[in-house]
Structure 1
Amino acid sequence: MTPMLQATPLEARALGAEEPIHPGEGRLAHAPADHPDLPQPKIGILLANLGTPDHYDYWSMRRYLNEFLSDKRVIDYPAWKWQPLLQILILSKRPFSSGANYKLIWNHEKGESPLMTITRDQTARIGAEMRARFGNRVIVEFCMRYGNPSTERRVRELVEAGCEKILFFPLYPHYAGATSATANDQFFRALMKVKRQPAVRTVPEYYEHPLYIDALAQSVERAYAALDHRPDVLVASYHGMPKRYLMAGDPYHCQCAKTSRLLRARLGWAEGSIDTTFQSVFGPEEWLKPYTVEHVAELAKAGKKRIAVIAPAFSADCIETLEEINGEIREAFEEAGGAEFTYIPCLNDDEAHIRALAAVIEDNLAGWLTRA
């Protein structure tokens, strides 16, 4: 009689079975008695956002801005030319003005920036959704490209928790070298520092995903339903980038334009009812146009007295939306004669947004996990 062969732990895992451990010990069943305890294999889902300073004081702001503005994906000037300007001139003054702006929007109750609060809330809701779909086989965490919690720290923690596979998800609907690419760069640098590298995947942009477009549309519909007067124009303000990045092949501009078209189609609006603009211009060179701050002033002067502004490229409200759009850009519109300015918040942890992000995650887990 041929003896029944028992699958090895590796074979069992390939067949989808959970690898057994000794009860209460965390030690693999096949391991010798003196083998160190190991956690059950898990799959990590690591959400990544841009980043935030730890506080709005000078030195916290300087550390954060130094890391951000030293990134070659963000500012690609030669270091010999850029670093003296950054270290001597920009970082001696900008931390004060940026810190003052952060102070205006700071979550003083929790002692953190709104981006940190919102990203944590998003992670908690996505984690609950993933556990409902996949049980305890997944661990959902978040990291920041700049500041804390760092990508390196989170990767190390996921590996130490037993994640043999990690899905890395930059929370940017649109691809850009200065957002998605630099987040991926940092993720791969973090992997270089762990002894046992997990298998990894990175999530691509989702600017045309139907559930993302639907979540944007729902946010517009809710905002408009709460207004006494319908805005004359909806301005879709996207984060800007130097125009030469587009000329060098970055697809960001085209993806933003498509999101605006798809949003207009989903809302059932006529052509010309949504204007696509770009904000956050930095430095002397030409950036993607039209510039939001100039465009809203032109609308007011042209008789468009009521406008609404939405920021589809941001997955969470942050300094660029809460202070720049709802502050500087609002003021430009009102000073030019505008009467009613409505800022439509980012999708944040809205139910429709979480549903969209969860769908993107599940699509990218295909072959790794199936629903429990």
Structure 2
Amino acid sequence: MLDAKSGTGVSLADARCPAHAPADHPKIAPAKVGILLANLGTPDNYDYWSMRRYLNEFLSDRRVIDYSPWIWQPLLQLIILTKRPFSSGANYKSIWNHDKGESPLMTITKDQTAKIKDRMAARYGSDVMVDFCMRYGNPSTESKVRAMIEAGCQKILFFPLYPQYAGATSATANDQFFRALMKEKWQPPVRIVPPYFDDPVYIDALAQSVERAYDRMEDKPDILVTSYHGVPKRYLMEGDPYHCQCQKTTRLLKERLGWEDERITTTFQSRFGPEEWLQPYTVEEVARLAEQGKRKIAVIAPAFSADCIETLEEINEEIRESFEHAGGEQFTYIPCLNDDDAHVAALSGVIERNLKGWLD
């Protein structure tokens, strides 16, 4: 059997009855280890109903919005999902990969998966199966867990593609993975890849991307802004380690580049709702920098493993506009690591370390 939807080319032609089993015993595929990459997700299209389905799933997640459903759901269903699909759809349309009919996040995640699959095949041969899923939208986590088990994966390594851990990203991806496992008659042993925010190879890949970008510029930026996706400040006070891990990533990047403190700063973007979020807010901080005379800046987004709506539209359009409106003159967005070879090598190294004891 081929998984035509995913394009993984998984075949069950070699499935056999176990030795000494009766002839009518269900056939079992040869044992292998599954490596399941997970990213946030993407709408199937940018039309109203595609956006509404996606936003409903995303904004109904209690890890993302933890207000009481009795208060939040009427507001979401009657007001937010009536209007927001139009504005969000317009934003997605502005960055959409029209040639492939999908969002950039989907295109990039497919490319990352293909490269990691090649590296794992070269390292482990047919003992592994590599695929990806999305927390929200398609392909769903449940469908990919089912496909892996059907293909003979008797162990699964689950890899949320978030360098820094946050309850609203890593934890909800893990939740969905465990929910998928709850539906399986025969649950395989599993491992969860921990955050890799301080991994030296990941930090080096980030630094290389900064160095390449700076080398291409005749006028170097006055400061590098590392913009991370924000979360409510309350989450930090409740024990979420995200803020601390973001700060450490910035510090390690600065040390790897050999820079002084004043050449780099940490900010947080994508604020939503009335409560205080982690600060400083990127959209306000870039304006403040421009007003203070820093007219040339570069922005990088170390919390995202792939470019998406928050980087291609929010940073490169909304945040750029805030900087230029305040008097900024040169705004450079440094793309996410995406399927860069150094990034793929870093992710593959993380995977190989976490496979030890299963595959060596």
Per the normalisation by structure 1, the TM-score is 0.92
Does structure 1 residue 271 correspond to structure 2 residue 264?
no
TM-aligned CA deviation for residue 24 of structure 1: 6.0
Structure 2 residue aligned with 1:175: 165
TM-aligned CA deviation for residue 167 of structure 1: 0.4
The alignment-based identity, stated in percent, is 74
Does structure 1 residue 363 correspond to structure 2 residue 315?
no
Structure 2 residue aligned with 1:225: 215
The counterpart of 1:116, out of the listed 106, 113, 118, is: 106
TM-aligned CA deviation for residue 25 of structure 1: 6.1
5 Å matches for 1:73-152? 73-152=63-142
Rounded Cα–Cα distance in structure 2 between residues aligned with 1:24 and 1:221 = 48
Distance 1:216 1:90, change over 3 A: same
**Structure 1 stretches of 5 or more lacking a match?**
1-22
Runs of 4+ in structure 1 deviating by more than 2 angstroms, as ranges, are 23-37
Structure 2 residue aligned with 1:251: 241
Does structure 1 residue 350 correspond to structure 2 residue 347?
no
Structure 1 residue aligned with 2:180: 190
Structure 2 residue aligned with 1:19: none
Residues 37 and 160, structure 2, Cα contact 8 Å, conserved in 1 = yes
5 Å matches for 1:157-172? 157-172=147-162
Residues 166 and 240, structure 2, Cα contact 8 Å, conserved in 1 = yes
TM-aligned CA deviation for residue 28 of structure 1: 3.1
Rounded Cα–Cα distance in structure 2 between residues aligned with 1:326 and 1:201 = 36
Per the normalisation by structure 2, the TM-score is 0.95
| Partner SS for 2:41 | strand
| Partner SS for 1:49 | strand
Counterpart of 2:43, as a letter, is P
Structure 2 residue aligned with 1:20: none
Does structure 1 residue 69 correspond to structure 2 residue 51?
no
Structure 2 residue aligned with 1:309: 299
Structure 2 residue aligned with 1:37: 27
TM-aligned CA deviation for residue 37 of structure 1: 2.2
Counterpart of 2:56, as a letter, is N
TM-aligned CA deviation for residue 29 of structure 1: 3.4
Counterpart of 1:53, as a letter, is P
Cα RMSD (Å): 1.0
Counterpart of 1:273, as a letter, is R
TM-aligned CA deviation for residue 195 of structure 1: 1.0
TM-aligned CA deviation for residue 34 of structure 1: 3.3
Rounded Cα–Cα distance in structure 2 between residues aligned with 1:198 and 1:105 = 39
**Structure 2 stretches of 5 or more lacking a match?**
1-12
Paired residues, number: 348
Structure 1 residue aligned with 2:227: 237
